[in-house]
Structure 1
Amino acid sequence: MKRLALAALTASALPTPTLAQRTPAPPPVMIPAEVTRLRDAALSDTTAWDIVEGLTTEVGQRLAGTEAEARARAWAVRRLTALGFSNVRIEPYRMPVWERGAESAEILAPFPQKLTLAALGHSGATPTEGLTAEVAFFSRMTDFQAAPDSAIRGRIVYIGNAMPRTQDGSGYGQYGTARFTGPALAARRGAVAIVIRSIGTDHHRFPHTGTTDFPDGVRPIPAAALAVPDAEQLERIAARGRPVRMKLVLTPRMVGLRESGNVIAEVPGSDPSAGIVLVGGHLDSWDLGTGAIDDASGLAITTAAAKRIMAAGQPRRTIRIVWFGAEEVGGLGGAAYAKAHADERHATASESDFGADRIWRFQVNLPASAAPIADRLQAALAPLGISRGRDKGGDGTDIAPTLALGTAAIDLNQSGWDYFDIHHTPDDVLDRVDPATLRQNVAAWTAMLAVVANAPESIDPVTNR
Structure 2
Amino acid sequence: MLKINPRFLGQVIIIVLTSLVSVHSSSHHRVSSAVATESCSHTVECNQDPECNLDPQLVAEIASYKTVADRIISEVLQGSFKGRAYSDLETFVDTFGPRFSGTPTLEKAIDFMLDRMQALSLENVHAENVSVPAWVRGYEHAEMLTPRKKKLNILGLGSSVGTPMGGLEADILVVKNFTELEQRADEAKGKIVVYNAEFVDYLTTSEFRKRGAAEAAKVGAVASLTRSVGPLSVDTPHTGGTTYLEGVAKIPAACITIEDAELFQRYQNKGQTVRVRLVMNDYNLEPVISRNAVGDITGREAQLEKVLISAHIDSWDIGVGAMDDGGGVIITMAAVELLKQLNLRPRRTLSTVLWTAEEVGLVGAQAYLDEHMQELGNISVLLESDAATFRPLGLGFAGSQDAGCIIQEVSKLLVSLNASSYQTFEKISSDVDVFIPHGVPAISLRTDLTRRYWYHHTEADSLTVEDPEELDLCLATWAVTAYVLSDISVALPRGDSSKPYLLIN
TM-score where L is the length of structure 2: 0.81
C-alpha distance in structure 2 between counterparts of 1:464 and 1:230, whole Å: 53
User: Which residue number corresponds to residue 337 of structure 1?
Assistant: 368
C-alpha distance in structure 1 between counterparts of 2:434 and 2:258, whole Å: 34
Moved more, 405-414 or 174-183: 405-414
C-alpha distance in structure 2 between counterparts of 1:464 and 1:436, whole Å: 41
Q: What is the CA distance between 1:396 and its match in structure 2?
A: 5.3
User: What is the aligned counterpart of 1:154 among 185, 190, 209?
Assistant: 190
Moved more, 306-315 or 199-208: 306-315
Q: What is the CA distance between 1:460 and its match in structure 2?
A: 3.7
Moved more, 354-363 or 206-215: 354-363
C-alpha distance in structure 2 between counterparts of 1:374 and 1:317, whole Å: 17
User: Which residue number corresponds to residue 50 of structure 1?
Assistant: 87
Q: What is the CA distance between 1:394 and its match in structure 2?
A: 6.0
- Tell me, yes or no, if structure 1 residue 39 matches structure 2 residue 73: yes
* Alignment RMSD: 2.2
User: Which residue number corresponds to residue 124 of structure 2?
Assistant: 87
Contact 1:365/1:462 (8 A) holds in 2 = no
Contact 1:43/1:442 (8 A) holds in 2 = no
User: Which residue number corresponds to residue 100 of structure 2?
Assistant: 63
Contact 2:102/2:132 (8 A) holds in 1 = yes
For the residue of structure 2 that corresponds to 1:106, the secondary structure is strand
For the residue of structure 2 that corresponds to 1:247, the secondary structure is strand
Moved more, 297-306 or 325-334: 297-306
Contact 2:386/2:444 (8 A) holds in 1 = no
User: Which residue number corresponds to residue 267 of structure 1?
Assistant: 297
Number of equivalent positions: 433
C-alpha distance in structure 2 between counterparts of 1:261 and 1:84, whole Å: 20
Question: What 5-or-longer segments of structure 1 have no aligned partner?
Answer: 1-25, 165-170
For the residue of structure 1 that corresponds to 2:374, the secondary structure is coil
- Tell me, yes or no, if structure 1 residue 435 matches structure 2 residue 468: yes
Structure 1 residues 267 and 148, CA gap change in structure 2 (3 angstroms): same
Contact 1:285/1:294 (8 A) holds in 2 = yes
User: Which residue number corresponds to residue 317 of structure 2?
Assistant: 287
Q: What is the CA distance between 1:300 and its match in structure 2?
A: 0.8
User: Which residue number corresponds to residue 247 of structure 1?
Assistant: 277
User: What is the aligned counterpart of 1:74 among 100, 108, 111?
Assistant: 111
User: Which residue number corresponds to residue 384 of structure 1?
Assistant: 417
Q: What does 1:50-449 correspond to in 2, within 5 Å?
A: 50-144=87-181, 146-164=182-200, 171-311=201-341, 312-344=343-375, 345-365=378-398, 367=400, 373-392=406-425, 395=428, 397-449=430-482
For the residue of structure 2 that corresponds to 1:389, the secondary structure is strand
Structure 1 residues 93 and 238, CA gap change in structure 2 (3 angstroms): same
Contact 1:394/1:409 (8 A) holds in 2 = no
CA deviation map 1:410-439 (0-9, x unaligned): 232111111000000001111111111111
Moved more, 120-129 or 390-399: 390-399
Moved more, 281-290 or 398-407: 398-407
C-alpha distance in structure 1 between counterparts of 2:117 and 2:266, whole Å: 51
Contact 2:399/2:439 (8 A) holds in 1 = no
Moved more, 104-113 or 190-199: 104-113
Moved more, 69-78 or 289-298: 69-78
Structure 1 residues 403 and 309, CA gap change in structure 2 (3 angstroms): farther
C-alpha distance in structure 1 between counterparts of 2:459 and 2:291, whole Å: 25
CA deviation map 1:254-278 (0-9, x unaligned): 1112112111111111112321111
CA deviation map 1:12-50 (0-9, x unaligned): xxxxxxxxxxxxxx9995332112211232224344223
Larger Rg: 1
C-alpha distance in structure 1 between counterparts of 2:427 and 2:224, whole Å: 33
Contact 2:203/2:429 (8 A) holds in 1 = no
C-alpha distance in structure 2 between counterparts of 1:83 and 1:446, whole Å: 16
C-alpha distance in structure 1 between counterparts of 2:365 and 2:245, whole Å: 20
Residue identity matched to 1:463: D
Moved more, 390-399 or 328-337: 390-399
Structure 1 residues 257 and 378, CA gap change in structure 2 (3 angstroms): closer
User: Which residue number corresponds to residue 10 of structure 1?
Assistant: none
Contact 2:297/2:350 (8 A) holds in 1 = yes
C-alpha distance in structure 2 between counterparts of 1:96 and 1:243, whole Å: 38
C-alpha distance in structure 1 between counterparts of 2:121 and 2:204, whole Å: 42
C-alpha distance in structure 2 between counterparts of 1:213 and 1:457, whole Å: 41
Structure 1 residues 428 and 464, CA gap change in structure 2 (3 angstroms): farther
C-alpha distance in structure 2 between counterparts of 1:261 and 1:116, whole Å: 33
Residue identity matched to 1:338: L
- Tell me, yes or no, if structure 1 residue 462 matches structure 2 residue 495: yes
For the residue of structure 2 that corresponds to 1:350, the secondary structure is strand
Structure 1 residues 129 and 137, CA gap change in structure 2 (3 angstroms): same
C-alpha distance in structure 2 between counterparts of 1:382 and 1:393, whole Å: 25
Question: What 5-or-longer segments of structure 2 have no aligned partner?
Answer: 1-55, 499-505
Moved more, 154-163 or 265-274: 265-274
Q: What is the CA distance between 1:409 and its match in structure 2?
A: 2.1
For the residue of structure 2 that corresponds to 1:272, the secondary structure is coil
User: Which residue number corresponds to residue 13 of structure 1?
Assistant: none
Contact 1:277/1:320 (8 A) holds in 2 = yes
C-alpha distance in structure 1 between counterparts of 2:425 and 2:357, whole Å: 26
Contact 2:133/2:360 (8 A) holds in 1 = no
Structure 1 residues 279 and 394, CA gap change in structure 2 (3 angstroms): farther
Residue identity matched to 1:121: G
